[in-house]
Structure 1
Amino acid sequence: MSPSRQLAAIMFTDVVGYTRLMGEDEHRALQLLRKNRNLHKAIIKKQNGKWLKEMGDGTLASFSTPSDAVFCAKELMNTCREEEIILRIGIHQGEITEEGGDIFGDGVNIASRLESLAPEGDIYISESVARDIENKKGLDTDFIRVQKLKHVKHAVSIYKVNIGEKVMPKQPNQLAELEKRKDKSNEMSIAVLPFENMSGDPEQSYFSDGITEDIITDLSKVSSILVIARNSSFTYKGRSVKTREVCADLGVRYVVEGSVRKSGNRVRITAQLIDGLTDGHIWADRYDGTLEDIFKLQDEVTCQIIDALKIHLLPEEKKAIKKVHTPSIQAYEFYLKGREHFHYYTKDNYQKAQDYFNRAIEYDESYAQPYCGLADCGSFLHTLYGGEYLLSDALTASTKAIALAPDMAEGHASFGLVLSNTGDYKGAVKEFKTSVRLDPNLYEAHYYWARTCFTQGKLEEAATHFEDAWERSPKDPQTPSLLLQVYRSLGRQADLDYAAKATVKAGFQKLEEEPDNWRTCLSLAFGLLNLKQFSESIKYLDLALKNNTDDALINYNVACLYSGMGEINKAMHHLEISLKLGNNTIGWIKNDSDLDQLRNLPQFLELIKKYL
């Protein structure tokens, strides 16, 4: 019979832990395999599928429609776990070639890769499957990430099928997964360290920092590279570090270092790419030009890095990297100054950032990125400091950003944050999905998405997206410190302990460079609290509160810390200050396990009723 080509939904399944069980108890392992085989054959047939073959403890099946495949996967998952068989499953729809009772093609390869990526007890599907089932009753999905798969030309958007609560605990495997995700030394992963300001004027550091951020942003648009976010790479600012130590710290293979010299209208950028495994220089170059050439120089640096790594760019990635956002150098410089202030995360600095973003827009009204900055500042000012900061202004700015640059990931992340703050969670998630599709490495997209899930009480999803953000910024203590309350609520004690230790380690390292960073002080205090080091936690709590007694966000976190220590009166005192100052994060307060000791107190209920 000649081979036939057809479109089909391909399903791969695998029994979790079978190899280990085979080594421990061969008889029991074989019994389990027979039971698994019988369940698979019956359910695949019931759901209109075709059993193709068994590969060790795995099975391969095909279906005429994606919905049949997903319904089959859900039934298999639920039925098998009742028999103490835990699966991971991957499904993809694509063209296959069938010959001699077997099937071949990219569709088979992608389904196999998805199965291998899925955590235990999960079903991973491709975008083609997710699109087909999006309106099917009883089939809900969550976007996970965009990832380059081995031997697959284009990056694949990965979705998870919601199947309800899992029976098997995830703690040990989740820890292993976090460790595995941190070790990217043999993958295409990179950190861009802050370019040194060689201008002889400390006030020009905003410019060299901005160049660094823009290179990070451009590289992050390449789906086949994991790029470390600014929050982590900038912890090395001003430090003399060894490349191998940086790579080990951040879990990356490559590091980019450089410098910027700005003198009058002239700019010189030097950059070098270093392999963390060999400590050898792969590429280095120097670029000279005028301020008007700055975007061209940045493009050259980014493209040279990509060429040196022998990465094949997708057409849309080439277009995104080469896009010039503004021809106005004045607008660009004001934007960089605004971004510098934004990263201090205080009320005063949000307001200063807004001023600079507005000045950038005065020079170029069609410059989309300052509108994103305005939207983010507006979102945080409204949420943390009260209604006098109108969310409608943030909404206007974010929609303007998308209108000007519909393919800019930052705009969709900013719009998603605004929608989340208005309570339009469905619309917010749609924007976050778009943002991650456009830029899989954008830290803010994963971070804002996680916060949105947490506000809704979707803690499993919040954990997933916080972990995605943490993967992209492993040196920033903020993200793991937020995971502490999520893991506690989910009962994932092993993950909680791991995240607490990671928070403390990252916090101490960051405070060495930024001893007055209140955000880091609070993260460190939470990490120490969860390690039962109360006196040390109070030390950093006090440091954060020093000179910030009228800050709503800081007082809220201080209340959470005192609640965790059982200091009820102090916790209530600072919570009331926070609410008086305009904190209106009712969804966050509702789901924050740090406040669990206060929830049933009459004074707590009265306080919430009074202010929220």
Structure 2
Amino acid sequence: MERKLAAILAADVVGYSALMERDEAGTFERLVGIRKALIEPEIAKRRGRIFKLMGDGLLAEFGSVVDAVECAVSLQGALKERNAEVKENERLEFRIGLNLGEIIVDGDDCYGDGVNVSARLQQLADPGGVCISSKVAREVEKTLAFGFEAMGEQQVKNIAEPITVHRLVQEGTSPQARLSRPPALPNKPSIAVLAFANMSGDPEQEYFADGLVEDVITNLSRIPSLFVIARNSTFAYKNTATDVRQIARELGVRYVLEGSIRRAASRVRISAQLIEGKDATHIWAEKFEGAAQDIFDMQDQLTEGIVGMLVPTIRRAEIERARRKRPDSLDAYDFFLRALPHSYANTPADTSEALRLLTEALRLDPNYAAVHGYAAWGYEQRFLRGGFDPEDRAAALGHADAALVTGSDDPQALCLGAFVHATITHDYERSINALDRALMLDGNSSLAYGLSAMVHMFNETYDRSRDHAFKALRLSPLDPMNYHSYLALAWVSLFTGRFEDAVKYSALGIQVNPGFSILHASLVASYANLHRLEAARAAAARLLKVAPDWTIGGFVRMDVVRPQLMKGLASALRKAGLPE
């Protein structure tokens, strides 16, 4: 059996059972005709292979995700034209799902989560539509002229974790009617937190719910990147049956948070959901539960949990919104948002694209502190992993200084500027002071905690590093930047002799960011220190696949921890046969 990465297309006929019941022979004949005349040639043209036929559906694999998406769009377009000439009760419409993932090849068949997720995505698609995973969206959004509408996280059958789903939208089309345009919105994410509904009938819980909402509003208001409607405005809608879309229009916000509280015996349960106000799309939902005996501690925990999950969720939604905007309407904020996924990916190619977009943002707004922070990080990555060009070093430190000066009250800018100085200049005292200020300004910033974990690891204050890494992961368990926290935990484990933990955290980090070469190197060193050389060599092969030019010498030259520790890592890496 062979394992490989592939794009999987799953297609299924809409209402096939009903069509067969009405006209079994005719339906089957039409399906076979469409498959032979249209589907099979189109898949072959795009260098795909059908590996399973299932009566009313099929599964196909592609070596290129771009080919798979173009095939899906072409198929749906051709089927639409074909159906225009067919009686309505004889039309065959397909749903298509696309995923990019690892599959197991067994002879002519394929198995694995990569296949299973595609099948579930197909079930979420509209008739004549295409649903894709977030992995597919990330791969093709720079290459293909299609838009993507976020459908949020979807829980599907037999898949443990929710899937982040996007609906593919061809240029000039929209899959659903839009409501009238709301009033002008602030040039940053805007949110209204509504009073939570008291579902228990207990007046005491009414006060608790109101206090919780006030705390959430207060904590959100401390985050400079958010525009938050004041309590008095949102509580005007309390105990009314007003449509969320109307509330968003009247308050001039993009997002609305609503929820409910229920008490049963000694337990209190709170449900919260984030809704995009324009079309009432549910973006995120979560339940928080705790003992009623210590109501105020639980209120603090719930506030922290809601705010910690809410901010990265809004950020992901804002990124998707920016992706869907036409290039000629982009402003500095939109360029910033478009750069973020490339910054998160942290591969050489993505870093270059992020810097291009960030440069455009700074051209429009030279004092944009957060953009200076991400630009500093981009140039730092290019310097450390792209040849140690002195110009990249100077650019990294220049943008880091700009972030720290212009962003003295911006947690994002502070923590990124601090991180870059820590890696390049090793001025840990200055960096830690800036990170502590970022956390004082926003105690719910998973980014600040994650980067603080890295800097404290560099500084060999390992207990603080571990505490901050776990705090970041608890605040935002699905954050694309979590690989920093896992890297901090992995290296703390390596440097303190806990090699099994180092394997675990390195592998978890790779799951978050498969293209980050340092995590692959960390996994190699972890296996080598456990004398599991076969696993170390396999991990080394994966490292070189991700970064073909990677060398031990270049790794050591990064000089991010003291020389003795870097030499220890290098010695472990040599055991796996990696190039010098």
Interval of TM-score (by shorter of Structure 1 and Structure 2): 0.3 to 0.5
| Greater RCO structure (CA 8 Å; 6+ sep) | 1
For normalisation by structure 2, the TM-score amounts to: 0.44
